[in-house]
Amino acid sequence: MKQYLDLLNKVLTEGEIRTDRTGTGTIGLFGDANMAFDLSEGFPLITTKKLHFPSIAHELIFFLSGKTNIQYLKDNKVTIWDEFADENGEIGRMYGTQWREWRERPIKVNLVAEEGKIPNVELSFNYIDQIAELIKGLKENPFSRRHILSAWNVGELHLMKLPPCHAFVQFYVSNDRKLSCKLTQRSGDSFLGIPYNIASYALLTHLLAQQTDLEVGKLYWSGGDTHIYLNHIEQVKEQLSREPKTLPTITIEKQPSIDDYKFEHFKLNNYNAWPHIKGEVSV
């Protein structure tokens, strides 16, 4: 994971300081940020600070469920979405909902009238299950250039508590039947968010490969606005002082479908990391 440390150092030494939506302030780069991880050489969970793998795994399971309420995460003591959810635990039509229920234009409009009241409009939709379509495509037409997973639904950004940061994903099957993933991230919190995103899409690639009888290839990460929050500068310097350790591996118990995976089906092996470094989330 030295390339991740190289990215931190690049942002810190070459980035420009800017104001941001949260009011915290950032130092960041635009466009000049790329990494590649060979998933056959280990699971890319950074070792220069300990990450909470259960949070990463449970979040992916939550996304794959397509739900909009974070109760599943709270039930499993995962707090990474708490700051963004409303008082009822709703985060809106974000990642998982777009993955599993991308809405097409309305196919039916009903006017529900009550005496003395303005009629309510009820819309009916067709839904696109992008994950199901992706698996079908990888099986039936592996060399297609259209293995795409998108969370950036322009028509529904106003229904999301936070517009998607990891917004566009493309998958690729090589001649030796290895599945690679390219994640394009429009906005990347280099200290807190990006390590989680790397591990999450590595895990998703493992699951998709398993469901389509492929081997894992590489995970490519590409950043748009790649930044470090100004209240994370000292933490980043501490992390840069640490030498990376050997990556862990992951064992996954194959399930009948992508919808059947639970946390107990994942086993992280030999994760030896430096102690955790705490950083505040900017909302």
Catalytic residue positions, numbered: 165
Measured between alpha carbons, how far is 184 from 265 in angstroms, rounded to an integer?
A: 28
Buried b (16+ CB within 10 A) or exposed e, 211-223: bbebebbbbbbbb
DSSP code at position 162? S
CB of 77 within 8 A of CB of 62?
no
Distance between CA atoms of 52 and 270, rounded to whole angstroms?
14
CA angle 118, 121, 122 (to 5 degrees): 145
Strand pairing partners for 35? Answer: 221
Residue 28 phi, psi dihedral angles, 5° rounding? -160, 170
Do 130 and 101 form a contact (C-beta atoms < 8 A)?
Answer: no
Half-sphere exposure of 257 (CA within 13 A, CB side): 8
Helix (H/G/I), strand (E/B), else coil: 208 = helix
> In which residue are the tokens 């309305």 written?
106
CB 23 within 8 Å of CB 230: no
